[in-house]
Structure 1
Amino acid sequence: MSVRIDIAGLRPEQVAAAPSPLAELGMALHALAEPGHHPGLQGWAAGVTARLDPHLADRLYEVDFLWRTTFSDLFLPYAGIPGDAARPGATLGEELDLLDELTDEQFVDAALEFNYPTAYGEPSHGPLDDPGQHRRVLELAALRGPRQMSFTDRLLTDPPRIRHWLRRLLEDCDEAFFADTWARLCPRLAADTRHRTELLRRKGVAEALTSLSAAVTLDEAEALVTVDKVGAGRTATAGHGLLLVPTSMGWPHLMVLHRDGWQPVVHYPIASPELATPPPSVEQVTRRLAALSHPVRIRLCRHLARGAFTTSELAQIHGLTAPEISRHLGVLKKAGLVTTQRRGRYALHQLDVTVVARLGSDFLEGVLR
C-alpha cells in the first residue's frame, strides 16, 4: 500500500519547499492531544498543558478530532487555492487569511475528513449540496460521539460562524503557546527549505524528492512518486504544482495531501528524536512480534494508533465480521499492545503507542506515517 503522485508534465519551477506556521501549529496541537505519538515532545507537551488556560483547553477538546489522528487539511489551506502559485504564508496570520479564502464547500469537506473519510480523494458533491450526503455525514458523526455530532451539525448549519470560531481558537493558541514555539523552530525549518531549494536547483526534482525520506521513491520513466505508507491513495500534479512542507514537530508522520482538486503536498519530518527503550523481556518481545505478524492486525494497528474504535466500527472499516475483529484484538491485547476502555455501553480499543515505541521505531513510524 502507498500514496502515489503522478507528476507527468511537472516543471522544476512548479516544485517549491516552504515552512508553514499553520501546519506546524497543527502538529503542535496533535502532539498535545497524542503525546504518545511523539516521545521526544512529551516534556514540551506536559509543560504547555500545565500552563494552558482551562477555558482554552476546553475549546481545544471540543474539536480535537481535527488534529488528534494526524491533522486536518485545513492546516494546509494554500493547497486548496486554484493554480500552482499559492504558497504558505510567512506568518500564522497570513496563513489564516489563506484559510479564509477557501470556499465554504472546501472548508466543510476538509473539516469533515475524519467524520466522513470515505469521500477523501474522490470527486463528489459535498454535504452542503447533497441532502443524502448531509444525512449520512450526521449519522456517521453521531457514531463518533456527541462532540463530533455537535460540531458537524453546527458546521453544516452555519459554516461562516464555525470558520470564525476556529480562526479565533487558532489565534488564541498562538498567543498562549505557539508564537514562542514557532520563533524557536522557524530558523531550522527555513534552513531545511533552503537546502531543498538548492537541491532542486542543482540536482533536480528526483534528488529533492528522494532526499525527504527513505519512504519516498520516484519512477522517472512513469513520472510517478510513491510514498510508502500503510494506506492507499493517488493524486496528480496536473494543473498544479507540488509543495514540500517540513515539520520539526511531526516525526514520525510523513503525510501526503491528496484531496481531489487540491495541490499535492508532502509534509515531511526533519527530525527523528531517539526513543526511550527500557529493556523488555524476551518473552514479551516474542509475544508482541508474533501478534504483529498478521497483515490484518497491522492494518488494525494503523487505525488504533490514530484513535479509539469499537469492534463494530473496525469490522465495518475492514470488511470483516465482529467475531473476526474480536479475535485479532484479543491477540493484540494479550501482547499488551492494545488497551480497552468502556464508555457507556461501548468498549473502545486503542493502540498503546508507548509500548509500540519501545518495541521498535520502525513499526511505529510505519503505522503512523
Structure 2
Amino acid sequence: MSVSIDISGLPLERIHVVPSPLAELGMALHALSETGHHPGLQGWATAVNARLDPCLADRLCEADFLWRTTFSDVFTPFAGLPGLNEIPGATLAEELDQLDKLTDEQFVDAALEFTCQSTYAEPDRKLLSDPAVQRRALDLAAARGPHQVRFTQRLLDDPPVVRAWFRTLMEDCDEAFFADTWARVRHQLAADARHKTELLRRKGLSEALKDVSGAVGVDEDERLITVDKMSVGRTTTGGGGLVLVPTSVGWPHLWVLHRKGWQASITYPISSPGLIAPPSVEQLTQRMAALAHPVRMRLCRHLARGAYTTSELADAHGMTAPEISRHVGVLKKAGLITTRRRGRYVQHQLDIGVVSRLGSDFIEGVLR
C-alpha cells in the first residue's frame, strides 16, 4: 500500500520546499483535538486549551471534523489555485487570501471531504448544482452527528458565508494562540526548508526525499515518488509543480495531497521521537503475520530468555528440526530474531528491541 506521485518530466526548479502558516495551524488544531496522536505535545495542548476563550472553543467544536481525523485540504489552498504551481504564502493572512481565491465548488468539496466520506476519486461531484448529490451529502453527514448536518446544510446553502466564518475563525485562532506558536517555530521550519532545498540542488531529489522521511522514496529514473502509507492513492504533477511543506507539530503524520486537479504536496514532520527509518508497511505486515502463529509465539517466548540452536528448540517443543527451521526462517525474515555463530553452533535469539517497538511502530504506521 502506498500513495504515488508521477513526476515524469518535472524539472527540479518546480519542486519547492516551503513552510505554510495555514498548514501549521491546521496541524496545530489537529494536535489540540487529538492529543492521543501527539503524546509529545500534550503539555502544549493542555496549556492552549486551558486559556482558550469558551466562545472560541465552542466555535472550534462546530468544525473540528475539518482537522480531527487529519487536516482538510482547505488548509493548503495554494494547491488548488490555477496553474498548479503556486506556493504557500509567507503569512497566515496571505494564505487566507489564497483560500478566498478557490472557487466555491473547490472549497465545499474540500470542506466536506470527511463529513461526507468522499474520496479523491470523485472530485467533480457537483455539490452546488446537483440536488441528488446534495441529498447524498446530507445523508452521509447525518451519520457523523447533528452539528455536521447543520454545517453541511449551511455550506451547501451559502458557501460565501461559511467561507467568511471560517476565515474569521482562523484569524481568531491566530490571535488567541497560534501567533505565539508560529513565532516560535517558523525559524526552525525555514531552516529545514533551506536545508532540503540545498540537498535538492546539490545532491538531487533522491537524497532530499530521503531526508524528508524514510517512508518517502523515488525510483531510479526519478519519475515516480512513492510514500509508504496504509492507504492507496495516485496523482501526477502534470504541468504543475510539487510542494514539500515542513511541520513542527505533525509527527507521526506524513500527509500527501493527491486530490485530482490540485497540485501535489507532501506535508512532513521535521522531527520524530521515533526511529529515523521507520519500518515500511510491508515490514509491519510481515512482522505481525509472523507473530500471529501460535508455534512462533511459543518460540518467541523461548528465544526471549536466551540464545538457542535449532536442535535445542526442536527438543524443547517436541518438533522436528526442519519444522523449527521453517518457523525460525519466518521470524528471521521479519527481522524479529538475530542469529549468531558460536563455533559449530548457530544460535537464535529474539530481538527484544524490535519486538518492544512493534506496538509504537504499528501506531506510527496507521497514523502516518
Distance 2:226 2:358 in 1: 27
1:185-223 residue CA offsets vs partner (Å, 9 max, x unmatched): 000000000001101111122221232111111113371
Cα distance, 1:264–1:121 mapped onto 2, change above 3 Å: farther
Distance 1:358 1:113 in 2: 33
Q: Is the 8 A contact 1:121 1:234 kept in 2?
A: no
Matched, 1:28 2:28: yes
Distance 1:366 1:234 in 2: 19
What is the aligned partner in structure 2 of residue 126 from structure 1?
126
What is the aligned partner in structure 2 of residue 364 from structure 1?
363
Distance 1:257 1:293 in 2: 34
Q: Is the 8 A contact 2:85 2:263 kept in 1?
A: no
What is the aligned partner in structure 1 of residue 233 from structure 2?
233
Matched, 1:184 2:177: no
Tell me the secondary structure at the aligned position of residue 113 of structure 2. Answer: coil
Q: Is the 8 A contact 1:122 1:259 kept in 2?
A: no
Tell me the secondary structure at the aligned position of residue 252 of structure 1. Answer: coil
1:1-369 matched pairs, under 5 angstroms: 1-221=1-221, 223-273=223-273, 360-369=359-368
Q: Percent identity?
A: 68
Unaligned ranges ≥5, structure 2: 276-287, 294-355
Q: Which amino acid aligns with 2:26?
A: G
Q: Is the 8 A contact 1:66 1:114 kept in 2?
A: yes
What's the offset of the Cα at 1:119? 3.4
Distance 1:103 1:250 in 2: 28
What's the offset of the Cα at 1:133? 1.2
Distance 1:187 1:360 in 2: 34
- Which is further off, 144-153 or 222-231? 222-231
Q: Which amino acid aligns with 1:364?
A: I
Tell me the secondary structure at the aligned position of residue 143 of structure 2. Answer: helix
Tell me the secondary structure at the aligned position of residue 144 of structure 1. Answer: coil
1:75-101 residue CA offsets vs partner (Å, 9 max, x unmatched): 000000011431111111111111111
Q: Taking structure 1 as the reference length, what is the TM-score of the superposition?
A: 0.76
Distance 2:118 2:157 in 1: 22
Distance 1:117 1:242 in 2: 26
Distance 1:16 1:49 in 2: 34
RMSD: 2.0
Q: Is the 8 A contact 1:141 1:149 kept in 2?
A: yes
Cα distance, 1:54–1:229 mapped onto 2, change above 3 Å: same
What's the offset of the Cα at 1:239? 1.4
What's the offset of the Cα at 1:248? 0.5
1:52-88 residue CA offsets vs partner (Å, 9 max, x unmatched): 1000000001110000001001000000001143111
What's the offset of the Cα at 1:116? 2.6
Q: Which amino acid aligns with 1:366?
A: G
Distance 2:40 2:4 in 1: 30
Distance 1:150 1:251 in 2: 32
Distance 1:272 1:119 in 2: 29
Unaligned ranges ≥5, structure 1: 276-288, 295-356
Distance 1:364 1:137 in 2: 31
Distance 1:359 1:207 in 2: 27
What is the aligned partner in structure 1 of residue 312 from structure 2?
none
What's the offset of the Cα at 1:143? 1.0
Q: Is the 8 A contact 1:243 1:266 kept in 2?
A: yes
Q: Which amino acid aligns with 2:28?
A: A
Distance 1:21 1:153 in 2: 29
Distance 1:152 1:358 in 2: 41
The structure having more radius of gyration, on CA atoms, is 2
Q: Is the 8 A contact 2:3 2:227 kept in 1?
A: yes
What's the offset of the Cα at 1:129? 2.3
1:16-65 residue CA offsets vs partner (Å, 9 max, x unmatched): 00000000000110010000100110000000011110000000011100
Distance 1:191 1:233 in 2: 30
Tell me the secondary structure at the aligned position of residue 360 of structure 1. Answer: helix
Tell me the secondary structure at the aligned position of residue 118 of structure 2. Answer: helix
1:90-113 residue CA offsets vs partner (Å, 9 max, x unmatched): 111111111111000000000011
What's the offset of the Cα at 1:132? 1.8
